[in-house]
């Protein structure tokens, strides 16, 4: 059987046309006397034939229809349906510029608020701070010190 | 074929759209056959072929053909098939549905597809390259970047495995 392993290798090499004349003779002589190796060679040759004759996976027409002239189709695609690719550094710079613009616009808007509105916000903040310790003790007993402090906060 | 490929590719780069179609017609069939049997699905095989030609289109103006366009296309389809199989390995097993699209009533043809399905990706790739795509040992060694001896040994192991698998179905 060890001898057969050597000849099995020769059979495989023979299928790839890699055998020398001497090896071919040696193999033929062995095959005459070895049933196992004859069967091995026969099976391998059958499998080789089957692999070489594997059927077409799909009818050509169907595939051609699907593939079509896809390059032309892609070129004729409307502009809004085309895929746009932007390199990562360009996208990063654009994002930073947009963020900076947004922050600038937002900051400017807050700075440009009317003066009385800003004052009102400040006075309400002072009132909250003044009321905070009392409300922490007991919310019911809060007595407004002035008419203005009675406002609902 | 290689000369015609080079000529058609040059014409395509110069703006001849029909030259690309000729390349497509020339190579579509063998790529589809390989990728369908490699992935075990004719639908996936179609996708692989489509992706391969899309990549070729993208190479317009920048492709350098070292050996042949046929080899470039084959390696591209092969890599894409192997990538798909690597992703799919975690999800499902290889289920050959290629025969479903054909008149494959012959028991032997069914058997060989079953055996193909039992091989792992690398084994299936190698045996299809040799037997279906008819690459020589030397060409395979060059394309795969391994020695001819390594290709011989691997092919022998695969054939032996196929022999053993075939015995189980008898």
Kindly report the pTM of this predicted structure. Answer: 0.65
Q: Print the domain residue range for B26.
A: 1-101
**B11 and B40 both lie in a single domain:** yes
**Overall domain count for chain B:** 2
Q: Mean pLDDT of all residues in chain A?
A: 74
Q: How large is the ipTM?
A: 0.81
Q: What is the CATH number of the domain that holds B95?
A: 1.10.1740.10
**B77 and B116 both lie in a single domain:** no
Compute the nearest-CA separation of A56 from chain B (Å). 6
Query: What pLDDT score was predicted for residue B23?
Result: 92
The average pLDDT across B144-154 equals 95
Quick: pLDDT tens for B88-134. Answer: 765 455 555 555 444 445 777 788 888 888 898 899 999 999 999 99
Q: What is the CATH number of the domain that holds B117?
A: 1.10.10.10
For helices B148-169 and B137-144, give the axis angle rounded to 10 degrees.
110
Question: Burial, B30: exposed, middle or buried (Cβ in 10 Å; 0-12, 13-18, 19+)?
Answer: middle
Quick: pLDDT tens for A107-131. Answer: 766 666 666 666 666 677 777 777 7
Query: What pLDDT score was predicted for residue B68?
Result: 87
**B78 and B118 both lie in a single domain:** no
**B95 and B111 both lie in a single domain:** no
Query: For an interface test with A, which of B51, B160, B165 has the most A Cβ atoms less than 10 Å from its Cβ?
Result: B160
**B65 and B88 both lie in a single domain:** yes
- Cβ contacts of A65-68, under 8 Å, gap ≥ 24: A66/B46, A66/B50, A67/B24, A67/B28, A67/B46, A67/B49, A67/B50, A67/B53
Quick: pLDDT tens for B16-58. Answer: 889 999 999 999 999 999 998 998 888 888 999 999 999 998 8
Contact B115, A48 (CB under 8 A): no
**B25 and B79 both lie in a single domain:** yes
Q: Is the model more confident about A5 or about A123?
A: A5
Instruction: Judge: A63–B28 Cβ closer than 8 Å, yes or no.
Output: yes
**B21 and B52 both lie in a single domain:** yes
Instruction: Judge: B159–A9 Cβ closer than 8 Å, yes or no.
Output: no
Contact B102, A55 (CB under 8 A): yes
**B48 and B85 both lie in a single domain:** yes
**B131 and B108 both lie in a single domain:** yes
């Amino acid at each position: 059987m060890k001898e057969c392993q050597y000849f099995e290798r020769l059979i495989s090499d023979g299928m790839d046309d890699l055998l020398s004349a001497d090896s071919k003779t040696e193999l033929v002589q062995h095959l005459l006397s070895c049933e196992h190796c004859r069967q091995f060679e026969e099976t391998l040759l059958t499998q080789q034939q089957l692999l070489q004759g594997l059927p077409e996976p799909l009818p050509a027409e169907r595939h051609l229809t699907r593939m079509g002239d896809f390059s032309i189709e892609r070129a004729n695609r409307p502009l809004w349906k085309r895929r746009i690719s932007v390199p990562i550094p360009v996208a990063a710079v654009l994002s930073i510029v947009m963020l900076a613009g947004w922050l600038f616009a937002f900051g400017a808007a807050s700075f440009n608020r009317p003066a009385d509105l800003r004052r009102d916000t400040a006075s309400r903040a002072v009132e909250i701070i003044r009321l905070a310790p009392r409300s922490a003790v007991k919310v019911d007993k809060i007595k407004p010190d002035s008419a203005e402090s009675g406002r609902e906060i | 074929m290689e000369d015609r490929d080079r000529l058609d590719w040059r014409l395509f780069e110069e703006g001849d759209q029909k030259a690309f179609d000729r390349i497509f017609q020339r190579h579509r069939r063998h790529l589809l056959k390989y990728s369908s049997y490699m992935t075990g699905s004719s639908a996936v095989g179609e996708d692989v072929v489509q992706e391969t030609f899309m990549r070729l289109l993208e190479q317009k103006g920048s492709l350098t053909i070292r050996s042949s366009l046929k080899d470039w296309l084959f390696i591209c389809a092969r890599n894409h098939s192997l990538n798909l199989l690597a992703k799919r390995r975690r999800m499902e097993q290889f289920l050959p549905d290629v025969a479903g699209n054909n008149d494959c009533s012959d028991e032997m043809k069914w058997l060989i597809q079953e055996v193909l399905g039992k091989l792992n990706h690398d084994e299936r790739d190698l045996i299809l390259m040799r037997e279906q795509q008819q690459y020589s040992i030397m060409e395979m060694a060059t394309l795969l970047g391994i020695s001819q001896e390594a290709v011989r040994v691997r092919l022998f192991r695969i054939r032996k495995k196929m022999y053993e698998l075939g015995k189980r179905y008898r």
